[in-house]
Amino acid sequence: MTDERLPLYQRLRDDMLAKIAAGEWTPGGAIPTEAELTRHYGVAVGTLRKAVDTLVQDGLMKRSQGRGTFILRPNFEGSLFRFFRQVDAHGDRRIPRSRILSRHLEPAPGDIAEALELMETEQTIRLERIRQLDGATLLHEEIWLPATRFDALMHIDIADFGNLLYPFYESHCGQLIGSARETLTVETAQATIADILGIGTGQPVVMVERLALGYDRTPLEYRRSRGAASTFRYQVDIS
């Protein structure tokens, strides 16, 4: 269990998330039944339900009538590409292909080390990646990962990295991404980024900064994705 100062239902919630992070419970699968969990934790069913309710409200679990409660996998690709158009010449939606340009072992910049809760001298794996559609680069990405957790990635040919990184992290490093926080800013393109994105130096680009967390809220990845502002769209429904 976690911090004894927290209400019991919050401690149950944190323990459940720790089980997912440790691989005891698998995303996509069902958690044990209420009867099994109340026996395991020695709590009232109301306390257990309140803990599960918070996980459902946060989008980490989903109840299915008559089947149980299931652990969800967040759709991070859908999140990112709600901001950038991903259609071909015919207007059909497509997922861009990914290519790793470089991989280095290095300390992260101070603000990123702080976000990842690392000492500034601790090593990270820095990936540089592009997302392309029909040969045109839609996004340029810089990604920092704690080297102690993702060491296996240093021993895999970068040509063998998957198109989607989060399933790759899970299968090769045992690290599960459960949630993320994103911040959007607008900046002008420096020469190197402008050349990669095929735009003029000084043209506006949108940067999406993402801090990805494990199910137990441990910071696992810091990412900066940059795309031309001309491909950016933002939509929010207000009711």
Structural domains in the chain?
Answer: 8-71 (1.10.10.10), 76-231 (3.40.1410.10)
Contacts of residue 84, defined as CB under 8 A and 6 or more positions apart, other chains included, come to: 138, 139, 206, 227, 231, 232, 233
Write down the pLDDT at residue 93.
64
Q: How far apart are CA 98 and CA 119, in angstroms?
A: 30
> Diameter of the chain by CA atoms?
63
d(CA 157, CA 91): 34
- Residues whose CB is less than 8 angstroms from the CB of residue 212 and which lie 6 or more positions away in sequence, other chains included: 76, 166, 177, 179, 180, 219, 220, 221, 222, 223
- What Cα–Cα distance (Å) separates residue 146 from each residue in 18, 44, 160? 19, 39, 20
SS3 219: strand
pLDDT at 73: 80
Q: What parts of the chain have a pLDDT lower than 50?
A: 1
Q: Which residues are bridge partners to 236 per DSSP?
A: none
Beta-carbon neighbour count of residue 219 at 10 Å? 17
At 111 the pLDDT is 95
pLDDT score recorded for residue 104: 96
Residue whose pair of structure tokens reads 């990805």 in the numeric block? 212
Contact 198, 230 (CB under 8 A): no
Strand ranges (E), the chain? 61-64, 68-71, 97-107, 123-133, 136-146, 177-188, 204-214, 219-228
